[in-house]
Copies of this chain bind each other. A is one copy, B any other.
């Protein structure tokens, strides 16, 4: 979708909106962390995000990769920066063609800084000298396909001391076909508001987003401002002086200042704000909170998961529940599909999931971080307790979950801790929901005036003995369906036929029922490879002959991955009753070894 359409819609609705700018990190870990951050910051409701372009250097490929991932995996409407620096025509052509292929419809067209080590900006052969030329070229080549943004310098461009020339340059970019303007950072709001009037009088009428750069550190701020690009009002300098050595105080001041600036602009009628996040989350979040900016409901959660904005996935609205904590893997393993489920998963779908090898399975945290969190388990109970701690928020991640338990799990947190303590090692779950309003702050999603539902879902690893006892218990129940599979692929289920089970759905005015999450056998089989492989990644943290590695590998080799759905979504906690007091057929010495009866993991010993 075009950013300009979103901007115009927000303006028409009279509401404030905001966008976030990121830059491509230099390391793989940096990129992974940025993805986590982007995913979390989706919840802050940016109308779109920007990713900067590194002057034709190697990181321009990274820019492209981040844009594609943001658009297709995280469902963030993405605008890619594109500069003239070191960009011959064929590189520009390639970048634009790739954007179009990925469904990215937004370009911020810039001239760009001189390449590193060069003082003066020089044009490359077959390249462009001015952003306006780039804008014109994009319009010539792609017509209306792209929304094009351009930059502006409310305080004057460093290379253009003439104020009037600045305005003419800006006007030239608009006349060449640019749709909106994002400004350089500034700290003098009065100056900005004056400039707004100025360009208006100069005949520039497209939307303008002020660039907000919260002060994050005194050093960085000084470097930036002493380059002479930015005028800093004296009161800011005065306020910073006494706290300049206190990083925390500087950060807090930066947030307070940004809030004040935005509020002043808001009072003057400004609606859109562009945040230079510096790839950081906290400041932007606190500023938005301080401004009482709340993302419009439909922007934050059109579905319980973030819909992809990749071109070929635009109608996709059903996914298996299994990859909930590994969205990127799901997107990658399904990117070869010709079409994506829309409305329903469908009986006839025969999903061919891509191999694990294609992208690799890895733990998101460093080895040391993992060891700090997970220690050196030597008995099954150590592992049970680790899972219990995760449920109690005392451990931040597990191999299957990079982030703490999500908001909706709050209501089942204690239940989860309990079942984990008895050896059902949960890696995914959702509580039953019986028709809460779609505006519900935690459980809601989708358009207004709807109602959303969930069937209670639990997915866990379970020892073979406990599995048998559990299945015997489930067989007496009407409402429970399950699938269980071990690493070797032996599948047990009480379902008939291949039909998918919708476990999340919503009822909205004037629509068919939306059923975005399903449980289904073939997808589960594809998922289990990943789920079991993550045990191995965990084991790899330890010496191969260590007790921890052996324990973890033995669990991985012998236990089952099981998912259980309570189809009676009107019974809130019945699913946990099923897992209580399961008495596995232990093989005699198990109970002794554990010193307790009825431990599902007992068969391991």
Chain B residues near A512 (CB-CB < 8 A): 344-345, 499-502, 515, 518
Chain B residue nearest to A453 in the complex (CB): B507
Tell me whether A509 and B479 are in contact (CB under 8 A): yes
Chain B residues near A451 (CB-CB < 8 A): 569-570
Complex formed: what's the CA distance from A496 to B499 in Å? Answer: 32
Map CB proximity to B onto A432-467 as digits: 1 under 8 Å, 0 otherwise: 001100000000000011010100000000000000
Chain B residue nearest to A508 in the complex (CB): B567
A513 within 8 A of B: yes
Chain B residues near A569 (CB-CB < 8 A): 451, 507
* Among B449, B502, B509, B510, contact of A513 (Cβ-Cβ < 8 Å): B502
Chain B residues near A511 (CB-CB < 8 A): 499-502
How distant is A186 from chain B, measured CB to nearest CB, in Å?
40
Tell me whether A449 and B507 are in contact (CB under 8 A): no
Taking residues whose C-beta sits less than 8 angstroms from the other chain, chain A's interface range is: 20 to 34
Complex formed: what's the CA distance from A344 to B315 in Å? Answer: 14
Map CB proximity to B onto A213-243 as digits: 1 under 8 Å, 0 otherwise: 0000000000000000000000000000000
Chain B residue nearest to A318 in the complex (CB): B512
A568 within 8 A of B: yes
A119 within 8 A of B: no
A143 within 8 A of B: no
Chain B residues near A434 (CB-CB < 8 A): 435
Chain B residues near A570 (CB-CB < 8 A): 435, 451
A558 within 8 A of B: no
Tell me whether B510 and A499 are in contact (CB under 8 A): yes
Complex formed: what's the CA distance from A434 to B515 in Å? Answer: 18
Interface residues of A in 329-375 (CB under 8 A from B): 343-346
Complex formed: what's the CA distance from A448 to B449 in Å? Answer: 30
Tell me whether B510 and A501 are in contact (CB under 8 A): yes
Complex formed: what's the CA distance from A448 to B565 in Å? Answer: 16
How distant is A131 from chain B, measured CB to nearest CB, in Å?
38
Chain B residues near A125 (CB-CB < 8 A): none
A478 within 8 A of B: yes
A-B residue pairs in contact (CB < 8 Å), sample of 24 = A343-B343, A343-B344, A343-B346, A344-B513, A345-B512, A434-B435, A448-B478, A449-B479, A449-B568, A451-B570, A453-B507, A479-B509, A481-B509, A495-B510, A499-B510, A499-B512, A500-B511, A501-B510, A502-B507, A502-B511, A502-B512, A507-B567, A508-B567, A513-B513
Give 10 closest A-B pairs by Cβ, nearest first.
A509-B567, A343-B344, A502-B512, A481-B510, A513-B513, A501-B510, A495-B510, A344-B512, A513-B515, A449-B478
